[in-house]
Amino acid sequence: MPNLKLLREQQNLTQEELSEKSGISVRTIQRIEAGTQPKGYTLKTLAKVLDVRESDLSDKSIKTETTVESEKIISSQEPAIDYSKIKLINLSSLLFAVLPPLNIIAPLILAAVLKQKNQLVKQIVSVQILWTILAPVVFMLGIFLKLGRKFTLVLMIAIVLSNVFIILRNVAEIDKKKKLYYRLKFNII
């Protein structure tokens, strides 16, 4: 059923994620998206999880005003996601090793140049903003503990390696599952 797929994609959910949230098998979700009409428990559960009316899922010939508006918003604002460009944007965060603010500025500039303004880019930048805030805090706490110069050096290396790990782990996840491994439940930007 196209309506289920549209509603699921509007909420940035994969079939697997919708299955986990609803307790309905992935195969059932695939059948419904292919055209099978949901009934009873399945219909009620999907409507509740997606926060829509049951009629939005049960009758594919009727499109509500919100669905039509959402289609317009998706088609006009969201360009197609190019995952190879998203990986490049994420990898551009590694420039923080040269100059720390570049882990935020470089992905933003690259996203604008590559015309990739979507949730994944917002999440990449949000994670980097959070890291940029937390890294100096952790470093300063390490200094205040006065555990010596060796500890401070190890702490600096650990902070840098933590961000390298986050960036590389997200690249691997984008490659495999088309989503981020480390992401926030909210966007900072």
Q: Summarize pLDDT for 79-100 with one digit per residue, the tens.
A: 578 889 999 999 999 998 888 8
Mean model confidence pLDDT for the chain = 84
Chain Cα centroid distance, residue 39: 31
Check residue 1 and give its pLDDT. Answer: 43
Q: How many domains are there within the chain?
A: 2
Identify the domain boundary among 56, 77, 98. Answer: 77
What's the mean pLDDT in 118-127? 90
Q: Is the pLDDT of residue 117 over 70?
A: yes
Query: Residues near 69 by Cβ (< 8 Å), separated by ≥ 6?
Result: none
pLDDT tier at 128, thresholds 50, 70, 90? very high
What's the mean pLDDT in 70-77? 51
Q: Is the pLDDT of residue 37 over 60?
A: yes
The answer to whether 57 and 20 have CB atoms below 8 angstroms apart is: no
Neighbours of 185 (CB within 10 A): 5
CA angle 130–131–134, rounded 5-degree value: 85
* Minimum mean pLDDT range among 11-20, 64-73, 104-113, 169-178: 64-73
Check residue 61 and give its pLDDT. Answer: 41
Distance of alpha carbon 92 from alpha carbon 88, whole angstroms: 6
Judgement on whether residues 72 and 91 belong to the same structural domain of the protein: no
Check residue 59 and give its pLDDT. Answer: 54
Check residue 183 and give its pLDDT. Answer: 87
Identify the domain boundary among 60, 77, 94. Answer: 77
pLDDT tier at 72, thresholds 50, 70, 90? low
Q: Is the pLDDT of residue 70 over 70?
A: no
Check residue 51 and give its pLDDT. Answer: 83
Judgement on whether residues 116 and 158 belong to the same structural domain of the protein: yes
Q: Is 148 left (phi over 0), alpha (psi -120 to 50) or beta?
A: left
In a domain, 184, yes or no: no
Residue 67, both tokens: 């669905």
Distance of alpha carbon 63 from alpha carbon 70, whole angstroms: 11
Q: What is the pLDDT of residues 168-180, one digit of tens each?
A: 999 999 889 888 9
Judgement on whether residues 6 and 71 belong to the same structural domain of the protein: yes
What's the mean pLDDT in 43-64? 72
What's the mean pLDDT in 116-120? 87
Q: Is the pLDDT of residue 136 over 60?
A: yes
Q: List the domain range (segments joined by +) for residue 113.
A: 83-177
Identify the domain boundary among 77, 109, 127. Answer: 77
Q: Is the pLDDT of residue 152 over 60?
A: yes
In a domain, 185, yes or no: no
